[in-house]
A and B are shown apart, each in its own frame.
Chain A
Amino acid sequence: MNRTLQKKIKPYIWLLPSIILMAVFVIFPILIVFRLAFSEVSKAGIVGGFVGFKNFRDAIGLPAFKTVMLNTFYWVISVVGLSTVFGFIIAMVLNQKFHGRKIARAILVLPWATSLVIQASVWNYIIKYEYGNLNNVLLNLGIIKEAINWRSSYQIEFIWECGVGIFVTIPFVTFCVLSGLQSIDSTLYEAADIDGASYWDKLWRITVPLVKPSLTVSTVLNIIYVFNSFPIVYTMTKGAPANKTDTLVTYLYMLNYYNRQKGPATALSVIGFLVLCICAGIYMVGVMRKEEDL
């Protein structure tokens, strides 16, 4: 009896350290955020009683709320969409055999390995008007005659932020697609060749369907990571002017730590968290289905 009990409990003991770690540092903060979102929170962070949806109403009533939500939407859609397209094309190219392929792949990994703050700072310097490196290079190449103001308006600055976002996201997509491409059986292409299929036929009928699972995983994960991406916007514009370039995460950071509007900030946290949960749900369904396929 004791033996069987021990055997039953054993797996849970093996899981225990991991569960404790995640429960304390992941689950707890989630609970805290939810509790704060429904409580009265003073500017100093002292938690009062239950106030229902007041914080949510306050958050939605904030003047910048609509802009920030739209920005977040544009940010996620443009960065995820474009980096998926570019990443796919680059993966197709890097999957060819050519000299220096290993070097090219090693270089491609660089933006992924670099901290986002550092990437954002470098691009910040590159696109500076007065002494930015891009203007300098273009002037010296004789491509432009006069320095161009690369950040003439906040819309353009936001586009630059998206560009940097795409730049750092491409390697992840590329490597996901590459791993999908490499698992494709080459006999499929040989069979298609015998049947006289064109390049595009092979692309649409073989490559794309077989890479689709990898693309789904990378897209959903990217939506989540891009949604949460804080350092690029924070380093490049800090949301200025007047939250016009803020995304949800930078906005809630500013609200909480600069404006001390802790109530609405936690409400925004919960909103962001729920959006992520929906994505996570989609992702989980996808992964589980993939597991079944294997």
Chain B
Amino acid sequence: MKLSESIKKKNRTALLLLLISVLLAAVILSLPAYKFTSSVYTKKSANTFVGDEKYTEVRAEVDAVAEEYRASGLDVEVSESVTERTNSKGETTSMVAFSVDQTFTKNGWSFLSAGMGSTWVLMALLLCLVLSAACALAGTVGSLDDPYRALDGRAAAFRSASYYLALIAMLLVPVFFMVNTVLMSRRVDLYCDGLLTEGKEALFAKLDAFLFGGQGGEELESMLKGLSFRNTGAMWLLLPCSAAAMAAGIQLRRGSITHTVVRGLLYAFVIALCVFILYPYYVMLVTGFRSIAETNDSDFLHLLPVKWQWGNLKHIVDRGVLRYLGNSLLVAGGATVLALLCGIPAAYAMARMRFKGKNVFLGFVIVSQMFSPVVLLIGISQLMSAMHMYDSIWGLMFINAAFNQAFAIWLLRGTFVSISPEMEQAAKIDGCNTVGSLVRVLLPMAAPGIVTTLIFVFINAWNEYTISTVLISTASKRPITVGITQFSSFNMIEWQNLFAASLLATIPVVILFMCIEKHLTSGLTSGGVKG
């Protein structure tokens, strides 16, 4: 009895909270949301000091203009700003700028009838909130007083729907502001400056109707140019409001808020993390397919390219990117094969044989993982010129194989050790020699570990940059990491080409890496590896 009472009470509270949130949202929408200031008239007066003859004259003129506007029903104010400067002769000059500003506020409801982009967002937001309340009602009616009956499927679905709708409403709040900002400030600027022309008249007509109630008329463009706006903050109250609605939804659905909030925070964190990590890749993708003009335009406001420039791909191919990719493939592939050919026997000996100096060699393998080619750059380039492998893809291949050798052995040894030697012993009894048992028995069993090692070495060699810049001087022999730098010369960086090429260089390795991702957690600390 006690339980049923408490559930009833909880359900009622939650429902009440939801309804209050919806009502509150309606109230918030009536508060002034944005404060707009638009200069309808400006006048600059040079060589004018505040209070002198010229000042009074111009001031009277401006006041007259303001009076005219007031007569036509606008609420305007005159403001002035003074700039003082010392010229080359040491005299102080002063300039006064007058402007007649129209200030007005708009509340949330006015956006609802504006017919602009943000209208639809706001409508969706309100709809979600109202539907959320409706769903909560539908989900609680009948089950409110009947706690012993298990929630039937429909009631549960309604309650879930209520919670998700409130969540969507909450997410739509920032979208609403974003759309407003884009519309009001950036896009108006662009249209007025003539950077974008399409749909200009329609946008201006809508804005005129919304902001000035259709009074802008001929001067609309100048009024929009002088438009500035400030968010009063009232609309942000929608955020806690819909959060409260969401909490009520959760309460209805689960009966407990804490658990869901913790889960919600977990998902929020993971999503934020993923967005943050994907952000540079998004930039790479969209910039790679933008036109030059768009890449260098400080005002572009499109999340995606206006027109996808597939021609960029053709352009970079003409500039030899395929060749660089081929070189990279050759270097990385060759280095991988070489590293494995030398590494597998060594790892096998380390895993299966006993000999003097095994621990010394193991120690050396571990330590040599630390030897980065970068610090040894000078030594390596000397060695390469002595071996006549300077500026050669072969040299690069050997260096990459050698510097990845240690960890290939380390990783392979770990794999081999984890496989029981019984099968090989059986093969040996059947007449196989050591090589035969290695190739026919052990290698197939160790395939996952070998593939992981292979991919690691490949990626390391593919992404290697420093040694290649030093060793390769002929353009046609460059691997892709060096090849892309030709798009960024000292005075001019061709971002779109740079990123299109980067994309081509990144995609194959990223796919490879994702293939071995699940092996990463098992093999990492034992192998001690890094790309």
| A residues neighboring B (CB under 8 Å) | 8, 10-12, 14-15, 17-22, 24-26, 28-33, 36, 45, 90, 93-94, 96, 98, 100, 103-119, 121-123, 125-126, 130-131, 133, 135-136, 139-142, 147, 172, 175-176, 178-180, 182, 213-214, 217-218, 221-222, 224-225, 227-228, 230-231, 249, 252-253, 256-257, 262, 265-266, 269, 272-273, 276-277, 279-281, 283-284, 287-288
Contact = CB atoms under 8 A, between A and B. Distances in A.
Contact of B298 (A130, A224, A269, A277): A130
Contacts of B375: 33, 228, 249, 252, 269, 272-273, 276
A107 B266 contact: no
8 nearest A-B residue pairs (beta carbon): A29-B379, A142-B181, A25-B402, A113-B513, A228-B372, A18-B346, A280-B370, A14-B349
Given A32-B382, A115-B505, A121-B498, A18 B178 contact: no
Interface of chain A, main secondary structure: helix
A140 B301 contact: yes
B378 A266 contact: yes
A18 B280 contact: no
B154 to A, nearest CB: 24
A172 B178 CA distance: 35
Interface string B453-484: 00000010011011000100000000001001
Given A17-B342, A26-B368, A287-B528, A11 B349 contact: yes
Given A14-B348, A17-B342, A276-B370, A262 B378 contact: yes
A123 B502 CA distance: 13
Contacts of B308: none
B270 interface: yes
Interface string B357-397: 01001010011111111111111101100000000000000
B316 to A, nearest CB: 14
Given A123-B280, A269-B379, A284-B366, 18 more contacts: A11-B353, A15-B345, A15-B349, A22-B405, A33-B375, A45-B382, A118-B284, A139-B186, A140-B186, A142-B178, A176-B524, A179-B524, A221-B369, A222-B530, A231-B466, A253-B470, A256-B377, A269-B377
A90 to B, nearest CB: 7
Nearest to A35: B379
Contacts of B363: 284, 288
B370 A283 contact: yes
B360 to A, nearest CB: 11
Interface of chain B, main secondary structure: helix
Given A115-B463, A228-B374, A104 B273 contact: yes
Contact of B297 (A117, A131, A214, A276): A131
Interface string B120-137: 000000000000000000
Contacts of A98: 263, 266-267, 270
A22 B406 CA distance: 8
Nearest to A170: B277
B176 to A, nearest CB: 10
Nearest to B522: A179
Interface in B247-269: 263, 266-267, 269
A279 B530 CA distance: 16
A244 to B, nearest CB: 19
A221 B403 CA distance: 15
B274 interface: yes
Interface residues of B, number: 102
B509 interface: yes
B517 A105 contact: yes
A280 B367 contact: yes
Interface of B: 174, 177-178, 180-182, 185-186, 231, 263, 266-267, 269-270, 273-274, 277-281, 283-284, 287, 295-298, 300-301, 338, 341-343, 345-346, 348-350, 353-355, 358, 361, 363, 366-380, 382-383, 398-399, 401-403, 405-406, 409, 459, 462-463, 465-466, 470, 481, 484-485, 488, 493, 495, 498-499, 502, 505-506, 509-510, 512-514, 517, 520-525, 528, 530-531
